[in-house]
Structure 1
């Protein structure tokens, strides 16, 4: 039995936009890799090899490389946060519109039920008096 998953329309629009923009796909790929354990393992190995075999203490070049990497990684994190904030705003707008529509529909249904109930009550009263 196949189950189709329905995604929120704001999610679908967001994913389509991200898939169409090469820069966003690159930023997503880097952020995804930088937030993974293979990233940690790779850096552990690279730093250990660098400190043992390439440069002697106090590792000035390694410090420069790590500082530059931190600048770029923090930039990618901020890009991701900005994109997430834009997505949340889009989703909130969509949810607000949907809730307004639901409220309007519920109000109309409540009024219709009230009219029908009043009419039923009136008919019952007129039937009892006859």
Structure 2
């Protein structure tokens, strides 16, 4: 079982900070980071994402969650800016931002293997929010 860090990449600083705050409450102890917004403006920046990735502990696998396609593109560009020791353990996860990050944080807190954490995040795409 691996320890997992989660990096939230959002166009909105408030969204990124708010999601990390939520994750800290739901999954205390999980390593969390965000690279969100361009100051007070909307946007993402590959160098900010790279900096967030490099803040993660060297022993952790890193899962990146993003809000829109250009955020994913900047996350991919960030991997080119980081050493292979960081890029090689980073996974850009194709999951809904909030639901996927919540599922991943809870699974990571349970110390599930990283493949299971990613699977839980991706499965959040099909979980209904209203049970009938």
TM-based fold match above 0.5: no
Normalised TM-score (structure 2): 0.23
Normalised TM-score (structure 1): 0.23
Q: Which has the larger radius of gyration?
A: 1
Greater fraction of residues in helix: 1
